[in-house]
Structure 1
Amino acid sequence: MNTVGLYVPGTSLPYRIPAGVKLLALLGTVTVLVVLADPWVSLGAVLAVVLLYILWGLAAHLWHAFRPVLLFLVAIAVFHAVFTDVHTAVRVCSQLTAVILLAGLVTRTTPVSAMLDLFTRLARPLQHVGVRPERVGLVLALTIRCIPMVAEAWRASREAYVARGLRGGAHRMVVPVIVNLIRSAEALGLALSARGLD
């Protein structure tokens, strides 16, 4: 349960920092960037996070952390440049970039099991109001497991779609993907029931 395709095994400094400390650092960074609302501070934060990737030997993963949100950031930049001003566009986009890259760094240097243990411990005080901490960990584990499962279902449906000689219309794969996910969910539910989990 240590990997969902993002965690990169290693032994350098960031791997020895506890998950809670990393999440606090992430929260603190977000707070500072939002409160200061200064584009130069945000750009500096982006540069600092990029340097951390390089110093900690994760430079190869920098683009992978940034690529999924590139079009989203471009859209935000264009929106602000048109409807507000370039200053705001730079500030908002650099804030988001810094936070996204830092979150990617945390994800890539923290095993999923460590994250789940942390959230399970944080949920322990809630057991006084009927919340079962181990169930919180289980729900998070299942949620994280479903992320690559959805991607795999989409990939399998895409391959079947192409193998049949079909072209265009990615929307046509939605139903097969949903059917595959429902089947996987039913199998998972049966497995949990067989182990006595309700």
Structure 2
Amino acid sequence: MLTLYRPGTSWFYRAPAGPKAFALLLVVLGVSLLPSTYSCAALAGGVTVLAYLVSGVGLVELGRQVVGVRWIIVITLAFQVLFVPMEPAIANTARVTAAIVIAALLVLTTRVADLLDALERGLRPFIRFGLDPARIALVLAVAITTVPVLTRLAVGVREAQRARGVRAGLVSFVIPFLVVSLKHADELGDALTARGVN
């Protein structure tokens, strides 16, 4: 499994994976539920900056994450502008971007093994209902790491296009991005099947 973990020494890196994931979930939910106004879009941005500063990850990494999701931002804004006025379109895009970038803090500051252990521990009470905590934890961990992985794939596609002199454009980006995304999903599926996860 591809991980985007960046080694660090701040208190946020040392925090247990379970409480860290829960705290980030609350922040993401809070940002997602903000009203669709310019002031709330600014608030979502401010919360994101604060989260990266407080966690010790820093603004340089925040910049990398925002650049990494730039195509998600463009696509989200383009579709929003088609159906809603400009203010909610910008606010909705800001909230989606903030939620993605804040959620990325979890995989940036937590090793996948620690994340899996925390998820499995949290799901143990559900064994009595016939659930397999190890399998569910693995599926959830894969889901959590999917957005950052897709971000990295998007950056790779754009860099490859730039190296070949392909002009930037939505259509010229989407098709190769879908191809590499589906290839990644296929490889991930094969890897999970090889480990007995069906």
Q: What's the TM-score once normalised by structure 1's chain length?
A: 0.65
Displacement after TM superposition at 1:6 (Å):
0.7
Match of 1:30 among 28, 31, 34: 28
Whether the 8 Å contact between 2:73 and 2:93 is mirrored in structure 1 is: yes
Secondary structure of 1:36's counterpart equals: coil
Residues 1:90 and 1:52: Cα distance change in structure 2 (over 3 Å): same
Residues 1:134 and 1:79: Cα distance change in structure 2 (over 3 Å): closer
Hey, what does 2:19 align to over in structure 1? 21
Residues 1:43 and 1:170: Cα distance change in structure 2 (over 3 Å): closer
Residues 1:18 and 1:42: Cα distance change in structure 2 (over 3 Å): farther
Kindly indicate whether residue 119 of structure 2 is the aligned counterpart of residue 119 of structure 1. yes
Residues 1:42 and 1:17: Cα distance change in structure 2 (over 3 Å): farther
Q: Tell me the number of residue pairs that the alignment of Structure 1 and Structure 2 aligns.
A: 172
Q: CA separation in 2, counterparts of 1:48 and 1:187? A: 36
Runs of 4+ in 1 over 6 A off after TM superposition: 141-148
Displacement after TM superposition at 1:15 (Å):
0.9
Hey, what does 1:59 align to over in structure 2? 59
Residues 1:85 and 1:142: Cα distance change in structure 2 (over 3 Å): closer
Q: CA separation in 1, counterparts of 2:75 and 2:141? A: 33
Q: CA separation in 2, counterparts of 1:142 and 1:86? A: 34
Whether the 8 Å contact between 1:77 and 1:93 is mirrored in structure 2 is: yes
Q: What's the TM-score once normalised by structure 2's chain length?
A: 0.65
Q: CA separation in 1, counterparts of 2:108 and 2:46? A: 18
Whether the 8 Å contact between 1:120 and 1:137 is mirrored in structure 2 is: yes
Hey, what does 1:72 align to over in structure 2? 72
Residues 1:188 and 1:119: Cα distance change in structure 2 (over 3 Å): same
Structure whose CA Rg is larger: 1
Pairwise mapping of residues 171-186 of structure 1 onto structure 2 (< 5 A)? Answer: 181=187, 185=190
Structure 1: runs of 5 or more not aligned: 163-167
Structure 2: runs of 5 or more not aligned: 165-171
The one-letter amino acid of 1:81's match is V
Whether the 8 Å contact between 1:53 and 1:59 is mirrored in structure 2 is: yes
Q: CA separation in 2, counterparts of 1:78 and 1:187? A: 35
Aligned-pair Cα RMSD in Å: 4.0
